[in-house]
Structure 1
């Protein structure tokens, strides 16, 4: 049986950022590290099916991991992208109230932002918002200047390069089937029957992380949460966008509403909505939601014309809370919780996982110390 220092399961943005942090923290004599990815390329799961937004850290409960790691990760991500030449843009965001009864929620969001340390968020009148975005319809808005967008694939390629330059290996087409937690390490069993003995294993398998953890012999079942899948459909805008900022409505219970985001070429897309599904591979865009998108977007952009939306893509949020529960926090579950030496499970790493990725990597290093 081959022996390695460590294994990270999953080559999404969080897995790659975590692998980078771990190998950079390891002594020079312990740098036999692998990232095992089931697919034939990096970042083909949740990491390739999101809005590519760099979140400021506004929405999350004060003191939560999401709030803390989003703010830390945002600053790290801007610095990293600048240093490495990863394409990004600090374009800013407007969170808009489209009728008066949303104003208390908008003010509460302002207070939450400031409590999370996002002190550059300010309240704008309708007139001030419309100076910034003349096509916008609202009664008030919050301006978040530190929100941005990033080339997520370029980011992942850079993280992969850092990991490999430190001696790590990314192994594609390498699905993990199970593991056995022993006193001398963790035996990782591959789908093809081969085995590896690793001193450290990080389960960063995203949507399938709970399923995989259930197949870790020696990990008590009580530490494995139920997986839920919240699909988000996206529709793209045909033609040029009149907006230069991201536009978000006041958040809904399960998501952030049907918002307008921009890619680095200025193309606009709308979404994601929230559609609870039973399978993590249910990725067809639900065309029957198209009219709902028109209705929601026209609340803040009344001039959106018929026929302007086209079905784009869909992604799945890896949730560990169900449809009628409050959104769960990130779960970075290390030996102090489950008692298995050398094992960290990453559960429920949904948005703002992309923004938080570098900070999550540091948190995993700390969880193993």
Structure 2
């Protein structure tokens, strides 16, 4: 069967790989000049353990399974990564009970490897971190997301898939038992397919709105959450990712590392109405305050604006965090169509597991 994947982010590429390896003639269409230039290129590149997601949610299940798949894939395909681990720390005794809740939630989601550490035990592995106690997450890591996407694309292409960039899908119409794809506003059909996967990320709802016959009631609303990062220009005395106790609406300002050892703090999240990647330098004072919770000796002059990423959320300000929405024919009634909405964190970690889920929904259509 012919398949078209709309969107060449990390999840779209993982889905295209799975489809091609299953024997489908697969095309990947993306409106940008290169693959993975949106959300997949603007994140902390963390391999998440699955700690914070509600028991029974797709995020919990696909993250826990996808994490193991991702580590195995990186080892097999020589994708640069590091199992650097993570510490979630209680700054003082008043925060310690919150570690109990995190531990219980993680166990419910299937994360069984967290280790509780006393302040003395924390100092042995991270002498610069002052805290009451912490949770160690042994299965958290970091990855070169671009190298991962290159490997996914190479696998897909080795099984006959083709990537077509600078091709913006503007309409999807059901004709004669197949899907007709229109691109760049043209009135001419650009391609037809038996299977269409809407993996458009930030554009997924817009693509769905222009998909003939798809019930609008099955398309969730889109909320844009911009996460801003600041980088630190010197090497910090940390070897693990360092996270504070989560705050209302997010995980708080935390410290992540890249594979070159560079440090960054963030994300500081704000709700926006349109796609805008600007980083406001005036947020510097807030980042300094957050960074000092992790390392009191931070030099404010070395903390500088870095980049911003935008998450395609399905829940808005003050609402409970929404789950992934992976909707197939059984959910919306349109044959051969799978729509992915709200694929934010932990989408990178879960990408291979998401691809397997999509393949299952296609196979059971």
What is the TM-score normalised by the length of structure 2?
A: 0.97
1:259-315, Cα deviation, whole Å (9 max, x unpaired): 1011001111111111111112x1011222211111112112111122120110000
Verify: 1:137 aligned to 2:125, yes or no: no
Give, in whole Å, the separation in 2 of the partners of 1:306 and 1:228.
32
Question: What corresponds to 1:285 in structure 2?
Answer: 279
Q: How far, CA to CA, are the matches of 2:338 and 2:249 in structure 1?
A: 27
1:291-346 CA distance string (max 9 Å, x none): 11111121121111221201100000110110111110000011010000000000
Say whether residues 1:184 and 2:185 are aligned partners. Answer: no
Shift of 1:104: 1.8
1:312-351 equivalences in 2 (<5 Å): 312-351=306-345
Matched-pair contact (CA < 8 Å) for 1:182–1:218: no
Aligned residue in 2 for 1:78? 71
1:308 to 302, 305, 310: 302
Structure 1 gap segments, 5+ residues each: none
Of 222, 225, 229 in structure 2, the residue corresponding to residue 227 of structure 1 is 222
* Aligned counterpart in structure 1 of residue 62 of structure 2, from 45, 69, 87: 69
Runs of at least 5 residues in structure 2 that lack an aligned partner in the other structure:
none
Indicate conservation of the 8 Å contact 1:181/1:219, yes or no.
no
Aligned pairs for 1:354-369 within 5 A: 354-368=348-362, 369=364
The equivalences for 1:88-99 within 5 A come to: 88-99=81-92
Using the alignment, how far apart are the partners of 1:207 and 1:347 within structure 2?
Answer: 9
Aligned to 2:12: 15
Q: Which residue of 1 aligns with 2:2?
A: 5
Structure 1 residue 192: deviation in Å?
4.8
Q: TM-score, normalised by structure 1?
A: 0.96
Shift of 1:183: 5.3
Deviation at 1:102, TM superposition (A): 1.8
CA distance in 2, matches of 1:270, 1:133: 17
Contact 1:149 1:264 in 2 (8 A): yes
Q: Distance in 1 between matches of 2:107 and 2:142?
A: 22
Aligned partner of 1:157 in structure 2 is 150
CA distance in 2, matches of 1:272, 1:331: 23
Range with greater deviation from structure 2 (138-147 or 192-201): 192-201
1:200 equivalent to 2:162? Answer no
> Distance between the aligned counterparts of 2:150 and 2:249, measured in 1?
31
Shift of 1:8: 0.3
Can you list the C-alpha shifts for 1:39-96, whole angstroms capped at 9, x where unaligned? 0011100000000000011110011000000011100000000000000000000011
Per-residue deviation at 1:222?
A: 0.3
Q: How far 1:153 moved relative to its partner?
A: 0.2
Measured after TM superposition, the shift of residue 109 of structure 1 is 0.5
Local SS of the residue matching 1:208: helix
In the alignment, is the contact (CA less than 8 A) between 1:12 and 1:42 conserved in 2?
Answer: yes
| Matching of residues 109-148 of structure 1 within 5 Å | 109-148=102-141
Contact 1:96 1:300 (C-alpha < 8 Å) held by counterparts: no
Partners of 1:8 and 1:256 in 2: how far apart?
32
Instruction: Write the distance in 1 (CA, Å) between the matches of 2:29 and 2:347.
Output: 19
Which of these residues, 73, 96, 99, is aligned with residue 103 of structure 1?
Answer: 96
TM-superposed deviation, 1:187: 1.2
Classify the secondary structure of the residue corresponding to 2:238: coil
Partners of 1:78 and 1:84 in 2: how far apart? 10
**Pairing partner for 1:261 from 252, 256, 263:** 256
1:217, 1:104 → 2: CA distance?
Answer: 51
Runs of 4+ aligned residues of structure 1 deviating over 4 Å after TM superposition are: none
Partners of 2:272 and 2:342 in 1: CA distance:
16
- 1:99 is displaced (CA, Å) by 2.5
